[in-house]
């Protein structure tokens, strides 16, 4: 079926009536819209969670560096 075909042509190719095609379109357009909205919600949540993980990773890295520096200071003091 070519792009830009009329609904009548599409219905004929599918072997259904014009009215059936209209009903399917109403039914599945709503489902598609709901699915798209859900995907967008999940993408936003995914982005938020990725930012949170990056922040936690940064904090842990910073704490590790701080702890390593403190351990070196303690080691140098104990050698004196």
pLDDT, one tens digit per residue, over 9-34 is 888 899 999 999 899 888 888 888 88
Say if 2 falls within a structural domain: no
Residue 24: which of 10, 45, 43, 38 has the closest Cα? 10
Say if 1 falls within a structural domain: no
Structural domain boundaries enclosing 49 = 7-73
Q: What percent of the chain has pLDDT over 70?
A: 80
- Phi-psi group of 40: left, alpha or beta (phi > 0 → left; psi -120 to 50 → alpha; rest → beta): alpha
Phi, psi of 11, deg, nearest 5? -60, -40
Say if 78 falls within a structural domain: no
- What pLDDT is stored for residue 76 in this prediction? 65
Number of domain units in the chain: 1
Instruction: Return the higher-pLDDT residue of 5 and 29.
Output: 29
The burial class, CB within 10 Å (0-12 / 13-18 / 19+), for 18 is middle
Say if 15 falls within a structural domain: yes
- Tens digits of per-residue pLDDT, 42-70? 999 999 999 999 999 999 999 888 877 66
Global pTM value: 0.50
């Amino acid at each position: 079926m070519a792009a830009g075909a009329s609904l009548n042509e599409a219905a004929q190719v599918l072997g259904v009536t014009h009215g059936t095609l209209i009903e399917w379109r109403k039914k599945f357009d709503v489902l598609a819209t709901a699915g798209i909205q859900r995907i967008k919600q999940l993408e936003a949540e995914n982005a938020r969670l990725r930012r949170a993980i990056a922040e936690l990773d940064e904090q842990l890295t910073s704490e590790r560096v701080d702890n390593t520096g403190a351990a070196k200071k303690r080691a140098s003091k104990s050698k004196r």
